[in-house]
Structure 1
């Protein structure tokens, strides 16, 4: 089966979620990649280790423009004859996936978490109800668009390089033009791509106390986050808000301090591989979802964790 994977480019680098999508696509069939921007030929060829046999790159596109990228993907489908198109389940994938499906007359499945079952048709396992259940979706169209949920399956790794080809289809920018782009300064990695996240809630009692969260995050090389109430009352910027109504994350480690664990918050973080909860209330709902729990005051626990991590790093240098 021929597969085409769209990989987003930011600042000349392929986003992590896109590389995971390549690995997912390889599990389905022979995988080509369509990307854009100024990513180096060496980095493009390195996509082969994730499972890409061929990479098409359009150098004339440098900005995320939904209409233009939709046309680019459709042109790449025509060029490769791909039957299955894979995108990452991230903000860009959510915006482009349905557009591509409509343009191709293809079925569209979001939040895929496993390789499609092709023993009897084409059936995709997906997350539903904010990750609380799974659905098996049958796709009956000749082409299908799948949005893969990052961190759902192990990443493919092999000693291989991909063939890199310049791709310059005749596509216009469409009705939307990007006039200005403002990059948000902040943490080590954007929350959707972060592997380590340190988050806090109203238990920190005020924005002036966030230094202990940032210190722990800095010692770990982690990204900082917060609960919705904290963002709503202005203690932290909204781009740090994780949860059902904020950013959904799937890091390897999620540390939550002073967050009770409302269902809306859990819905956005329950894909984390390991969850550590710190709370003074032993009955806090979040403890039921935690892999590790510390009943204690964040003002005491976080500085001790930071100190322990710094000592560990110093002893191993």
Structure 2
């Protein structure tokens, strides 16, 4: 039912600075899975991580941008992004294996019902169908998705990129070509992930390959319980934020982590999370976005985050307190 209402997404052909184009989400994802020549698989390309309804279509068609869209979203699949440093190598593969194995054991899903990819360069994407618990769409769906994904990853003892749950986030399209490696985002079945060495996976990714996405129809009670808990946590956090806005009871001082980040930065894998938190803390004190950038950008760049990721993390942290997004997710 939700798939019919939340049928829109967007597509980006080229890097994330290129325009967002409205697409039928199911048709677009099916095209990439089938290696449809119209998808131009030799080019870098992205689809939206979440799905949207008519209000998003009107917003994108009217403004030509996803910027400032704050309406509801939904997803038929939640994603985990396991990334690493350029030289992480097998460590990232082992982390992806731990995550997938833990999901099978703790969420009671079949391994072959996970949609797993090598990203085309140095990471892995693991997707789980929401048909296992049928969550409702909402304005905070993406926030509940992040809390859900972080909890699952923490249970597995795996660090994921928690910055990929923006409402209008770009997500690398299946089978598309990575511009830096020249390899493709390649689907792996569960057994391939568990048994193949990284060199063999990279060899597979030299060309795209059609696949049929899994479409499980059975319920996962553990996933349903966890989603309910995460949704309640997000709801309570939103209420506290609203109360602070009314009463003017935001933070009154910089916390120690913020001061340390400004002075020393942070190291992988905590640098993105700490940058986000520092921006949120500054916003609680009433700092405008420009001041947040001025205070945090240099330290963030010094600790190795790409410029686009730095800007996005600061904007998202600021937005979590201050409200409307100043820019687009990418």
Q: Same fold (TM over 0.5)?
A: no
Per the normalisation by structure 1, the TM-score is 0.26
Structure with more relative contact order (C-alpha pairs < 8 Å, separation 6 or more): 2
Structure having the higher strand fraction is 1
Whose Rg is larger?
1
